[in-house]
Copies of this chain bind each other. A is one copy, B any other.
């Protein structure tokens, strides 16, 4: 899979900042909103950016580690059930997306269970019915990692064809904060414990099992690939999973390639963002952090990507909720840059 992402040009950033600094407001008084505006302008190669409808690709897949090691507060069949819930419109992401002018695309990239009935917004592209147990075996083969990446990429292309001007990735997969912790520890060179959180609410012995599973996975992958922060990103992702995290990476690749802002969600999806940026560093120019979750590893991921979160409301749900919740703020940022008057235009005295 060949992806061409043009780096954002500094000239557009500079032009955006020049405009922002001439507007009728104390310089930089809109804080980080101005940074968002300038980055969106540069992505769109204009100094009058505009964001219209958005979309979120909610990638769903299962995790062998959830079945075999008991690392989650929820039974693994919840992944399947939640996909049905997304399709029926009953999940949090459906409500938030409806409010934020975003379409929901549900991508089955590796759910375990029977095929889903045909439904609007469902993209069936199951690479395999859940990963292997990363604590004991590769999560998937390299070709499967490529296929999962491609599934996310194609789903995003579909959303773009249907009019999305702003893209988020979301995730559903019982056990996926375990895979995300392993990936994050691998890429950032951090110990498992520092990036392994409570996920959907795992406590006590189950949490200890989760940490041990991440540690075992890292040891296993390291024996095979050597230093994980220097090994090929796709090989590392194949070892540690999961399928939906790779799909999220594919969404970011497609959005960046199309010149559209892409918004990361919580800890699992941002692990996907790490994969995408390792594969194509220019993706970073197109990437925004919708929010900061309570997962301890999420802040580390955002630091390493050099991103600040638009929202910080203590979310820990996933599904793309924190990403889509940030859409209106990104749109407002763009609109400020497109529509405000300068001091000269408005006849306002300067300080």
Contacts and interface: CB of A to CB of B under 8 A. Distances in A.
A84 B341 CA distance: 12
Given A24-B91, A92-B25, A314-B31, A78 B329 contact: no
Interface string A25-40: 1110111110000000
B90 A332 contact: no
A338 B98 CA distance: 12
Interface centre among A98, A335, A348 (most CB of B within 10 A): A348
Q: Which of A91, A331, A332, A341 has the most CB of B within 10 A?
A: A332
A313 interface: yes
Given A30-B315, A31-B314, A312-B312, A340 B81 contact: no
Interface in A303-317: 310-317
A221 to B, nearest CB: 28
Contact of A24 (B77, B90, B335, B351): B90
A99 interface: yes
Nearest to A266: B29
Contacts of A94: 339-340
A82 interface: yes
Copies of this chain, complex-wide, total 2
A347 B81 contact: yes
A100 B340 contact: no
The residue among A23, A89, A200, A339 with the most chain B CB atoms within 10 A of its own CB is A339
Contacts of A338: 95
Contacts of A95: 332, 335-336, 338-340
B201 A27 contact: yes
Given A75-B351, A349-B74, A24 B325 contact: no
Interface residues of A, number: 61
A264 to B, nearest CB: 17
A5 interface: no
A96 interface: yes
A196 interface: no
Contacts of A315: 29-31, 33
A332 B96 contact: yes
Nearest to A339: B95
A24 B348 contact: no
Given A25-B92, A30-B92, A325 B321 contact: no
Given A29-B316, A88-B341, A346 B201 contact: no
Interface of A: 23-27, 29-33, 72-75, 77-78, 81-82, 84-85, 88-92, 94-96, 98-100, 200-201, 294, 310-317, 321, 325, 328-329, 331-332, 335-336, 338-341, 345-351
Given A88-B346, A89-B339, A99-B332, 16 more contacts: A24-B82, A26-B201, A29-B315, A30-B321, A31-B313, A33-B325, A73-B351, A74-B350, A82-B348, A95-B335, A95-B338, A96-B332, A100-B332, A311-B329, A325-B332, A328-B328
